[in-house]
């Protein structure tokens, strides 16, 4: 019996946690049915290393941006810089970008400036924006609405763990919510309830590895293979069997990350 295929829509394969292990962890992912993954560059100066991983491994695509927690430490991205990077055939998203007022509230103003630059780049390239949001729900909703009013763009709220209000604001704009291992934690029922109110057509799954490993690996290093554990919880949330949930969320990924889907078809 074949294992249902699923996509890890957000991981960090360039982090030191995975050094020298890429081939092995991609093989373990395949054994679990995770046949594609998007590795995320969080500082633009590291884009060459992240790109090299995607070029070396067929199942791996990549995105790049300036993480909000690094926004004050890095040069502000430029729209033309992001547009140029997006010409690479395996570059499939803009970010991650966003707002984090939990750890880095002191840089809120530069975070907002950085986010708006990334929104402009997503609009210009037609690639989805990848958003990190923590303790900044009101500002995040306002900036996303403002940006969309200036011209539509696609977006995923990565590792969504914010409140119902931000979920509704994102969904009302046609955006997607991504389930990470947080959604599988026993004490995350309130978050699962928020996901349950969303249309299934707007749901993705991810690991955010090496962080946030779902049970039964909680507290250990996360990796793309563990997408399957979160997806099994997601299937329960939506009252589906695992194979159906895997197929539906993979179709959602292909719709949002259409460049990755086109590359895979042509390969």
Backbone torsions φ then ψ of 161, nearest 5 degrees: -145, 25
Q: Could you tell me which residues are beta bridge partners of residue 155?
A: 129
**31, 15, 87, 36: which is closest to 249 by C-alpha?**
36
Q: Please state, in angstroms and rounded to a whole number, the distance separating the CA atoms of residues 252 and 244.
A: 12
Is residue 22 part of an annotated ligand binding site?
Answer: no
Quote the crossing angle between the two packed helices 189-196 and 227-237, to the nearest 10°.
Answer: 70
Is residue 12 part of an annotated ligand binding site?
Answer: yes
Is residue 74 part of an annotated ligand binding site?
Answer: no
**Cβ contacts of 26 within 8 Å, gap of 6 or more:** 37, 57, 59, 60, 224
Helix (H), strand (E) at residue 110: helix 108-125
Is residue 88 part of an annotated ligand binding site?
Answer: no
Is residue 5 part of an annotated ligand binding site?
Answer: no
Is residue 10 part of an annotated ligand binding site?
Answer: yes
Which residue ranges are tagged as binding site for a divalent metal cation?
Answer: 10, 12, 96, 132, 158, 208
Which residue ranges are tagged as binding site?
Answer: 10, 12, 96, 132, 158, 208
């Amino acid at each position: 019996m074949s294992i249902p295929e699923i996509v890890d829509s957000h991981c960090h394969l360039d982090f030191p946690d995975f050094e020298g292990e890429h081939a092995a962890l991609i093989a373990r992912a395949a054994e679990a049915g995770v046949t594609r993954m998007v590795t995320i560059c969080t500082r633009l100066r590291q884009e060459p290393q992240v790109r090299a991983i995607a070029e070396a491994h067929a199942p791996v695509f990549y995105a790049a941006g300036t993480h909000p927690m690094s926004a004050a430490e890095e040069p502000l991205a430029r729209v033309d810089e992001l547009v140029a990077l997006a010409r690479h055939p395996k570059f499939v998203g803009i970010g991650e970008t966003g707002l984090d007022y939990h750890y880095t509230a002191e840089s809120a103003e530069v975070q907002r400036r950085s986010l708006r630059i990334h929104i402009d780049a997503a609009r210009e390239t037609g690639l989805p924006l990848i958003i990190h949001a923590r303790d900044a729900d009101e500002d995040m909703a306002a900036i996303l609405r403002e940006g969309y009013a200036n011209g539509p763009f696609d977006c995923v709220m990565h590792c969504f763990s914010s409140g119902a209000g931000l979920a509704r604001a994102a969904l009302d704009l046609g955006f997607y919510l991504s389930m990470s291992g947080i959604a599988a934690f026993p004490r995350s029922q309130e978050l699962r309830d928020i996901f349950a109110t969303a249309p299934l057509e707007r749901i993705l799954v991810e690991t955010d590895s090496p962080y946030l490993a779902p049970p039964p690996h909680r507290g250990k290093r996360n990796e793309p293979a563990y997408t399957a554990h979160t997806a099994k919880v997601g299937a329960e949330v939506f009252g589906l069997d695992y194979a159906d949930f895997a197929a539906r969320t993979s179709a959602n990924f292909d719709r949002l990350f259409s460049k990755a889907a086109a590359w895979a078809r042509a390969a």
